[in-house]
């Protein structure tokens, strides 16, 4: 039996360029001690949130290099926000563009990079005696909002 490779980017040549927005969010669960160190500004590598914001912007702009079928989209805006909660930090990444295809993957990539950056900056606080991370976890990464000019919000 012959196998045919049908992989390739979707041709969006004929699609109109319209305003698009996507917002993704996710959580990183951290120990109470780590959350306290963040709140009190005592993380050795500095405040994780501005660094994670830059990571989100860089990652969103590089999505086409990381995910093979994504189109290279010139982004108009990328923002990242962070909320401290009782047992986790919630990160949100919003991406805007005028493009032929959506920016959901850029938002997801941005929020993932932000959460990974936070983990990297606090990992020394999260390790147990064996050097493991028994309670640290990233979860609930999802698209929470998507808009396309001319369509109702989903």
Catalytic (active-site) positions:
120
3-class secondary structure, 32: helix
- Coil vs helix vs strand at 122: helix
């Amino acid at each position: 039996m012959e196998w045919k490779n049908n992989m390739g980017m979707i041709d969006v040549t004929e699609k109109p360029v319209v305003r698009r927005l996507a917002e993704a969010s996710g959580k990183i669960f951290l120990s109470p001690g780590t959350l306290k160190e963040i709140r009190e500004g005592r993380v050795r590598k500095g405040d994780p949130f501005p660094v994670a914001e830059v990571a989100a912007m860089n990652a969103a702009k590089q999505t086409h290099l990381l995910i093979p079928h994504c189109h290279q989209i010139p982004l108009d805006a990328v923002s990242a926000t962070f909320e401290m909660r009782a047992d986790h930090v919630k990160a949100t990444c919003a991406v805007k563009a005028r493009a032929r295809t959506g920016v959901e993957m850029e938002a997801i990539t941005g929020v993932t990079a932000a959460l990974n950056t936070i983990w990297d900056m606090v990992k020394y606080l999260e390790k147990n005696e064996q050097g493991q991370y028994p309670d640290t976890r990233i979860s609930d990464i999802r698209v929470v909002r998507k808009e396309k000019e001319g369509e109702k919000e989903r």
